[in-house]
Amino acid sequence: MSSAVQILEPEADVRAAMRAIGAAARNASRTLANAEAERKNLALTASAQALRDRSADILTANALDLAAGKAKGLATAFLDRLALNPIRIEAIAKGLDDVAALPDPVGRVLATFTRPNRLVIERVATPLGVIGVIYESRPNVTADAGALCLKSGNAVVLRGGSDSFHSSAAIHACLVAGLNKAGLPEAAISRTPFASRLAVGQMLEGLGGTLDVIVPRGGRRLVERVQREARVPVFAHLEGIVHVFIDRAADLDKAVRIVVNAKMRRTGVCGAAETLLVHRSAAPRMLKPLIAALIEAGCAIRGDEASREADPRVTAATEEDWRTEYLDAIIAVRVVDSFDAAIDHIETYGSHHTDCIVTEDKAAAERFLKEVDSAIVLHNASTQFADGGEFGFGAEIGIATGRMHARGPVGVEQLCTFKYRVRGDGQTRA
């Protein structure tokens, strides 16, 4: 009995504390929604300054996390992502300054229409409310996500990976210092003080109706769990099965440059190409040089029969390869019989993230841009442009492949909803 009580008590504590965090965040969201742009920006720049001033404290906290991680036997790559240094801290601080410098997304008039009865109706951007961000042990996300939510007038509840507990806490303290300096409520950027998975479960349930949306930041397992279990809307993408389609009217030079960049510039990003489709009419001219360029750049090729015939270094692709997000220096290559077969392949195996056509045929390009149902469709440009920064959004909290509300890079504008303001002079309805 007593051990059951010991287990139950902390659970109840976590539940109660998480509800309290949610309620405080909801409360703060009302203040934040009406906060002037200058006040939010002051909080951001003051947070950046606090990060710079407290650099030593943050590194001390980070050393604790790193030591614990080493003792736990965490992988080197994991520890590298966790590690901070003065350059990384300055980059985080600069990120906050950059978000402060963005135009304020709240209050933008998205549409205006004057009705025959002289009512003037405006659709105007307003914050979403309270955003939950669940992320892995990357300390910088604490600052990035906190800043984007603050800028967009939303309160945020942050739940970072437990292996970055001390680092995240130290960075979070800088954000709180910024909020204090600007006279904004501390609960505007809350951090769950719990390492337990129960805290995540509470967030997925919506913190008692508090959370308006959840954003997972991390690997496939995390995103999968959030998408499966969340009872509130989620902005995320599970994977980026990104295609480059070389149309029959493609320019070889452009094709090679785009494909090599799309695949190899960085292989671990969601906009990295995973499958290369080549129109059968283009194959005789294109396949060999494309494969050679990829191999020269260090990429392994898994191809269909035509690809293997074009280059003996290509190994055989299986059905599974068309569905695989390698996030590595590997690409699947397939020759398709027609434009329609390319679109069918993309709709069958793709993840509606980012897809590209390379062609000099404008009509084919327009058809591809129209018919491929992905968040981002490109003509004659690398898929690695799938990024909020490259879109001019300043920063992104992630890329969404869902169809509701936000799709593609989620920047501060997409963290807003809207309402209608109607101005009259006494109109009544007949």
Binding site for a copy of itself (CB under 8 A): 30, 33-34, 107, 113, 115, 119, 121, 126, 128-129, 212-213, 233, 251, 253-254, 257-258, 260-262, 265, 347, 365, 369-371, 373-382, 384-385, 390-392, 403-405, 407-408, 417-429
- Tokens 């805290």, located at residue: 199
Closest to a copy of itself by CB, 14 or 242:
242
CB of 418 to a copy of itself, least distance (A): 6
CB of 275 to a copy of itself, least distance (A): 18
CB of 106 to a copy of itself, least distance (A): 10
* Nearest-angstrom CA–CA distance, 131 and 134: 10
Count CB neighbours of 180 within 10 A: 15
Residues 6+ apart with CB under 8 A from 115: 121
382 close to 265: Cβ distance less than 8 angstroms: yes
- Tokens 């292989």, located at residue: 267
* Nearest-angstrom CA–CA distance, 396 and 415: 10
* Nearest-angstrom CA–CA distance, 309 and 304: 9
CB of 380 to a copy of itself, least distance (A): 5
Angle between helices 283-296 and 252-264 (to 10 degrees): 40
Closest to a copy of itself by CB, 163 or 387:
387
Closest to a copy of itself by CB, 260 or 310:
260
CB of 298 to a copy of itself, least distance (A): 16
Closest to a copy of itself by CB, 282 or 314:
282
CB of 139 to a copy of itself, least distance (A): 26
β-strand pairing of 398-400 with 408-410: antiparallel
CB of 290 to a copy of itself, least distance (A): 14
Residues 6+ apart with CB under 8 A from 135: 141, 145, 158, 159, 160, 161, 216, 217, 218, 222
CB of 430 to a copy of itself, least distance (A): 8
Closest to a copy of itself by CB, 80 or 425:
425
Tokens of 138: 């990357």
CB of 159 to a copy of itself, least distance (A): 21
* Nearest-angstrom CA–CA distance, 344 and 336: 10
Closest to a copy of itself by CB, 167 or 261:
261
Closest to a copy of itself by CB, 16 or 119:
119
Closest to a copy of itself by CB, 202 or 374:
374
Closest to a copy of itself by CB, 76 or 428:
428
Angle at 67 between CA 222 and CA 397, to 5 degrees: 30
Tokens of 421: 């303001």
Q: Which amino acid is at 181?
A: K
124 close to 421: Cβ distance less than 8 angstroms: yes
- Tokens 């990429």, located at residue: 299
401 close to 351: Cβ distance less than 8 angstroms: yes
Tokens of 285: 């001219």
CB of 86 to a copy of itself, least distance (A): 25
Residue 62's H or E segment, with its range, is: helix 55-72
Closest to a copy of itself by CB, 304 or 387:
387
